[in-house]
């Protein structure tokens, strides 16, 4: 069957169309993406401003048209931290439904972590053993650990690259004191969760998903997307520690010139790097592997698992 997954994230609204069947690998057929950066469109009350809701409704309409054009039998719509934590979340969801007919399912942070873990587990298989997962989105950081398809521990922290950039790094390039303050904040937040995971022992394989980790791996020398899905892409903590001060000294336009870094995400890359560095350091991760599948694929796999 042809499925569409409509992901209303903190940075983008992304429709992924796949040909999917139980027991088979979902095959991407079409991708429709629009950058909204909802995490950056909050007013002083923490609500998504009216202009942001207008853009969201219009973008959902465009995605639905694309899904219809591509022959989707079903669209699986969900929203993550930007909508989940908005002060006017109920109003936003009601308006999207009234004007598009789409009832967005708002995932909790733990659900995000668990679905992303499922995708990583299916990608790497049982031979990967105990899996430790990190995912940095626009609004949150997800962490999960386990040996089965359901993780033994899963948490979500408000450490997304977009959120932190808006709240902590106003300069371009940012002030040194702001970078230091953000580094302290990130590490204090992550440190609260370390004990919850360390009791399970050392993982056999550490993996990361998300655009942030992909871009950090790419600038550290990992193969580009043109090399295909199945090429191993590794990010080491040593490489990351070398890149963080370099990124801090760059403007957004300079970061956008780095290999694999898109202009739309360049401003957020430093905040994402500080989160990645803090997580790898505090969890004792020396190297990790980039997983091509993430939350959208997890949503698809869970849907397929429940087909009659």
In a domain, 304, yes or no: no
Task: Tell which of 77, 106, 135 closes a domain.
Answer: 106
Using pLDDT thresholds of 50, 70 and 90, give the confidence band for residue 293: very high
Of 7-11, 40-44, 202-206, least confident by mean pLDDT is 40-44
* Higher per-residue confidence, 308 vs 16: 16
Tokens of 223: 């193969």
Q: What pLDDT does 289 receive?
A: 98
In a domain, 111, yes or no: no
Same domain, 155 and 84: no
Q: What pLDDT does 230 receive?
A: 93
Using pLDDT thresholds of 50, 70 and 90, give the confidence band for residue 44: confident
Q: Phi, psi (5° rounding) for residue 198?
A: -65, -25
* C-alpha to C-alpha distance for 189 and 73, rounded to whole angstroms: 42
Mean pLDDT of the chain: 95
Same domain, 170 and 245: yes
Tens of pLDDT, residue by residue over 242-277, are 999 999 999 999 999 999 999 989 999 999 999 999
In this prediction, residues 117-138 reach a mean pLDDT of 97
Tens of pLDDT, residue by residue over 53-94, are 999 999 999 999 999 999 999 999 999 998 999 999 999 999
Count CB neighbours of 56 within 10 A.
26
In a domain, 216, yes or no: yes
How much of the chain, in percent, has pLDDT values that exceed 90?
90
Residue 101 has pLDDT above 90, yes or no: yes
Q: What pLDDT does 23 receive?
A: 86
Tens of pLDDT, residue by residue over 213-240, are 999 999 999 999 999 999 999 999 999 9
In a domain, 302, yes or no: no
Task: Tell which of 72, 106, 140 closes a domain.
Answer: 106
Residue 201 has pLDDT above 90, yes or no: yes
Same domain, 78 and 185: no
In a domain, 166, yes or no: yes
Same domain, 163 and 291: yes
Same domain, 73 and 137: no
pTM across the whole model: 0.95
Same domain, 43 and 131: no
Same domain, 62 and 155: no
Same domain, 93 and 130: no
Same domain, 144 and 261: yes
Tokens of 159: 């450490």
Using pLDDT thresholds of 50, 70 and 90, give the confidence band for residue 125: very high
Residue 43 has pLDDT above 90, yes or no: no
Q: Which residues of 103-132 are buried (b: 16+ CB within 10 A; e: fewer)?
A: ebebbebebbbbbbbbbbbbbbeeebebbb
Same domain, 216 and 263: yes
Host domain of residue 238: 126-295
* Higher per-residue confidence, 38 vs 179: 179
Using pLDDT thresholds of 50, 70 and 90, give the confidence band for residue 11: confident
In a domain, 147, yes or no: yes
Using pLDDT thresholds of 50, 70 and 90, give the confidence band for residue 205: very high
Same domain, 262 and 138: yes
The CATH number of the domain where 192 resides is what? 3.30.420.150
In a domain, 115, yes or no: no
Same domain, 95 and 141: no
- Short-list 141, 139, 133, CA closest to 117: 133
Q: What pLDDT does 255 receive?
A: 98
In a domain, 113, yes or no: no
Contact 235, 222 (CB under 8 A): yes
The CATH number of the domain where 54 resides is what? 3.30.420.40
CA angle 244-140-234, nearest 5°? 45
How many domains in the chain?
Answer: 2
* C-alpha to C-alpha distance for 202 and 62, rounded to whole angstroms: 45
* Higher per-residue confidence, 128 vs 264: 128
């Amino acid at each position: 069957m042809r499925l569409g997954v409509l992901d209303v994230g903190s940075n983008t609204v992304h429709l992924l169309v796949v040909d999917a069947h139980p027991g088979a690998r979902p095959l991407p057929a079409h991708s429709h993406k629009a950058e909204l950066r909802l995490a950056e469109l909050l007013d002083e009350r923490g609500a998504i401003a009216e202009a942001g809701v207008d853009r969201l409704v219009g973008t959902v309409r465009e995605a639905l048209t694309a899904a219809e054009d591509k022959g989707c039998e079903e669209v699986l719509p969900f929203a993550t931290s930007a909508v989940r934590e908005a002060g006017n979340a109920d109003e936003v969801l009601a308006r999207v439904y009234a004007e598009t007919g789409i009832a967005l399912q708002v995932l909790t942070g733990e659900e995000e972590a668990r679905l992303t873990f499922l995708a990583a587990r299916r990608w790497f298989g049982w031979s990967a053993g105990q899996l430790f997962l990190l995912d940095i989105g626009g609004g949150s950081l997800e962490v999960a650990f386990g040996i089965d398809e359901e993780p033994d521990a899963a948490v979500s922290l408000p450490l997304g690259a977009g959120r932190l950039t808006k709240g902590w790094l106003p300069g371009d390039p940012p002030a040194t004191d702001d970078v230091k303050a953000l580094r302290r904040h990130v590490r204090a937040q992550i440190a609260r969760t370390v004990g919850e995971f360390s009791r399970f022992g050392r993982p056999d394989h550490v993996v990361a998903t998300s655009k942030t980790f992909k871009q950090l791996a790419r600038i550290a020398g990992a193969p580009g997307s043109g090399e295909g899905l199945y090429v191993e892409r590794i990010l080491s903590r040593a490489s990351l520690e070398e890149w963080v001060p370099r990124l801090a000294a760059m403007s957004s336009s300079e970061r956008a010139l780095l290999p694999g870094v898109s202009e739309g995400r360049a401003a957020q890359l430093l905040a994402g790097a500080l989160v990645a560095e803090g997580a790898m350091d505090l969890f004792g991760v020396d190297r990790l592997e980039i997983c091509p599948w993430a939350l959208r694929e997890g949503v698809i796999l869970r849907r397929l698992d429940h087909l009659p």
